[in-house]
Amino acid sequence: MIINKHSKTTVLTIFLLSAMLLLIIPTHSSSTMTYDTWADINDDGKIDVKDIAYVSRLFGTAGDNLNKTELLYNASSTLREYLLKIDELNSSVIDLQHKVDNLNYTNLMPFIDDLNASLLELQSDVSNLNTTVSQLQSDNTGLHGSLNQLRSDVTIINSTLSSRIDLLEARVSSLETRVATIEAAITQLQASDAIQQLEIDSLNSSLTSLSERVSAIEANYSYAIPLVVTSSTAEITTTGTGFVSMPGMSVTINPNRTSTLLILLSVEAYTDDPAERIWIRAMDGGNTASPGDICLTPTLSWWNGDLQSLRYCAYSYVFFRSSVGAGTHTINILWRIEALGKTGYARNRTLTVITLPA
C-alpha cells in the first residue's frame, strides 16, 4: 500500500487531536446532553474518546449508507405482522375447539379423542410459538448492538416464524378437513344406522376371511423345514446279538407333504472286547432307513502288550429315507453287539430328524 505525504499528515493530526482530547476531556463527562445510543460505537454505555478513536481510524472511508432507524422500524413491523397472524390462528383454534366440543357422539369418540389430541398438540405449538415470540420481543431490546448481528437475527426470526406458521396453517387446514369429515360421518350415521351396521358386518366378514387366509398361510408354511430332536446322557448297555431299541433314541415327526427324511445320530460308545463291534440300524416304523446297518468300529490301542479298546469315543452317521408320504412317522434307533458274551456301552447321544421337500 502506498501512503502519500498528505495522508500521513492527516493521520498524525487526528492522532494528536485524540491525545489532546484524552488529556482535556474528563473520564466522566458532566455534559447535560442526552445520551445517544447510536453515537456509542462500542456499546459500553458511555460516549468517550474510545468512540472518537474508532471513528478517527475510519476517517476517509466510504460505503453504502444504511438507515438504522428504518431497519428497526421494518423489524418491528414484521414482528407485529407475525403477532397478528398468531392471534388469527389462535382464534381459528378456539373456533375449532368449540366445534369439537359440540361433536359429542358415542360412536365417534375415537375420532373426537384423536381430534382433541391434535388440538392439544396444536395448542402446544401455539404456546411454543408465543414463547418464541416473547423471547424475540425480549431480544428486540438488544437490537442497538451490532448491526450485522441485527441482520442475522432478523433473518433467523423470519425463517423460524415463517416455517412454524406454515406448519401451523397446514395443521389447521388438516384439522378443518378432519372436522368436516367427522361432521359428514355424523350426518351419514344419523341418516341410516342400518348402513353402518352393514358396514360393520362387512368388516367383520372381511376380518374373518383374513383370519382364515392367515391360518391357511400358517398351515402351508409352518412345516417349511420341520425337525425334531431328542437326546440323552444316561449310560446304557447291550449284550444281545439281536437288534433292540436304543433307550431314549425315538422321535415322531409329521410332514404335511411327500418328503425326504434325514436321520442324524451322534453317540459316544465302546465295547469291552476290542475284537467286537456295535451295529446300528435306523427304522421308520417298520421300514429300514438307508443305507441299512452300520457298525461302530472300536478305536484300539496297545496297553502292556495287549490290544485294547479305548474308552468312550464319539461316532456320528446320517441315515435317510426318500419320498416318504405325509403323515406320522416314528423314527427309532436299534443296536446290537456282534457276539454273545460281550457288552456294548453307550452314552451322550442325540437323534435329529429333518424333513425336506421330496
Q: What is the chain's pLDDT, residue by residue, as a tens digit (358 residues)?
A: 444 555 556 656 666 666 555 555 555 555 567 887 777 778 888 888 888 888 888 888 887 776 667 777 777 788 888 888 888 888 887 877 777 666 655 556 676 777 778 778 878 887 887 887 777 777 666 655 666 776 777 688 777 877 888 888 888 888 888 888 888 877 777 676 666 677 777 777 877 877 777 666 556 555 457 889 999 999 999 998 999 999 999 999 999 889 999 999 999 998 887 778 899 999 999 999 999 999 887 766 666 666 556 678 889 999 999 999 999 999 999 999 988 888 999 999 999 999 988 7
Cα separation, 90 vs 169, in Å, equals 11
Residue type, 30: S
- CA 97 – CA 179 distance, rounded (Å): 10
DSSP 178-226: HHHHHHHHHHHHHH-HHHHHHHHHHHHHHHHHHHHHHHHHHHHHTTSS-
What letter would DSSP give residue 143? T
pTM for this entry? 0.39
Distance between CA atoms of residues 282 and 107, nearest Å: 65
Backbone angles phi, psi at 339, to 5 degrees: -135, 150
